[in-house]
Structure 1
């Protein structure tokens, strides 16, 4: 049986370099590439891989959440630029990791260990994920309180508490608030980590919503999930990876 892998990395140069090294070092490996956590969750729902190479610091849905979605049979390799505290956590949890920038020699040693353990159930990862989440919380910047957005030629300061959501469209992002619509040039990828993760969810690669602003969610005639926000007469797409989370609200 051909072994399968999921590679999740949001930075294109690093993603392409790692994919090329995997092809060279493990030619028979069938690699699926995802550029963000949402795409990774969708790929896992289709077919769980034998091994996953996960960047921890993904915007929005990070590598830790992706790891929790993987079955126990999947071997996990974290790719990380974290400091020695994180390395100690990896080693204590007996979980494979590769420090960035990734070298072919280091990756080759990791692949050797992974291949040797493909038929074995991986060690429990929850203690490690909890330790990494604690480290991430200690080093995170406080969420922003307001955002500067444009309405025509006018720039306005919009309080985060007044915002229903952010919708990416073409080269700009719509700011949807109780004061109306404005636009910013900031991408969702750059925006999501500046928001309070308990209040704002990225439910689609084009949409971040305030949880309390969700009016309702339902399937359309094609079976795809969508939602509406309070005070807005517009339907927005929802990733299949988040449909279950909405049903549980």
Structure 2
């Protein structure tokens, strides 16, 4: 049986979509209806539904951010009030996108498209390209204004800012000056970002999104919504039985998961 999750902060719209999907797809099981992005992300990780219908504008995490953090088999359908031209980048990456107000005839087409996509079939040779398109579209739509402004300034002839070389991080009552080259990875942790080196673990208040715009892209790569790794310290990669990718960093015992949207960075590994 195919399983699905619905995430929408407007209960009446979530209920309508649920009723219509069950009417049009009798074999579908709705395993969870999430009222916000954080609940949706947690439920997807826990339940691993076949498909997630994600509203784009939600509190906590947007549908785009939820999609960026998916690590398992779950495929995405965006449900949005945005004009369809704003989502052309997703046309070949997400299974589908539905515009509000939802129309039954469009849902019928979407159900057909989703069922065809989820049917067992050989993996196409360009499967990683779809992940790459999704990652690039998410990156553009999730880029903070500061990054966009910097890009505009560079296009206008402004001198580009040099990549970050040091970070000031707290370890107890002591503030450390850490050389960026020594960092194994950065990882979001509640209100802080963890800085992990071979020597220890530190906390900073700079977000992952801000760091991504300040670090040298030739050395640092985003592998998850919450994780940036230093490729100079990459030791090995591993795929599990479901083809999920994991990284092992030198000097760090635990593996780091790679979200589906970023797997294409490691295609040759």
TM-score range, shorter chain: 0.5 to 0.7
| Residue 26 of structure 1 pairs with residue 21 of structure 2 | yes
Please tell me whether the aligned partners of residues 183 and 196 of structure 2 are also in contact (alpha carbons under 8 angstroms). yes
Query: In the alignment, what sits opposite 1:200?
Result: 221
TM-score (norm 1): 0.52
Which runs of no fewer than 5 residues in structure 2 stay unpaired?
Answer: 33-39, 57-62, 119-125, 151-160
In the alignment, structure 1 residue 35 sits paired with structure 2 residue 38: no
| Aligned-partner Cα distance in 2 for 1:3–1:218 | 28
Q: 2:35 maps to what in 1?
A: none
Q: Specify the SS of the correspondent of 1:133.
A: helix
Relative to the length of structure 2, the TM-score reads 0.49
CA change 1:77–1:208 in 2 (3 A) is same
Alpha-carbon separation, structure 2, partners of 1:80 and 1:114: 14
2:192 and 2:107 map into 1 onto residues whose CA distance is 40
Aligned residue in 2 for 1:78:
78
Aligned residues: 214
Deviations 1:131-151 (A, max 9, x none): 993695498326973644212
Counterpart selection for 1:114 from 110, 128, 148: 110
Q: Deviation of residue 217 (structure 1)? A: 5.4
1:213 corresponds to which residue?
233
Give the drift of 1:229.
2.9
Cα 1:86/1:24, change in 2 over 3 Å: same
In structure 2, the partner of 1:61 is 68
8 Å CA contact 2:89, 2:133 repeated in 1: no
SS in 1 for 2:196: strand
Deviation at 1:192, TM superposition (A): 5.2
Distance 1:139 1:26, change over 3 A: closer
Contact (CA 8 Å) 2:68, 2:135: kept in 1 or not? no
SS in structure 1 of the partner of residue 170 of structure 2: strand
Deviation at 1:117, TM superposition (A): 4.6
Q: Give the structure 2 partner of residue 133 of structure 1.
A: 136
**Contact 2:184/2:197 (<8 A) preserved:** yes
SS at 2:229 equivalent? strand
CA distance in 2 between counterparts of 1:135 and 1:240 reads: 15
What is the distance in 2 between the residues matched to 1:248 and 1:91?
Answer: 26
Change (3 A) 1:164 1:15: farther
Separation in structure 1 between the aligned mates of residue 211 and residue 202 of structure 2, nearest angstrom: 18
User: Does the 8 Å contact 1:60/1:193 carry over to 2?
Assistant: no
3-state SS, counterpart of residue 5 of structure 1: strand
Are 1:96 and 1:110, in contact at CA under 8 Å, matched by a contact in 2?
no
Q: Which residue matches 2:172?
A: 152
Q: Is the CA contact (8 Å cut-off) linking 1:225 and 1:237 kept in structure 2?
A: no
Q: Shift of the alpha carbon at 1:236? A: 1.1
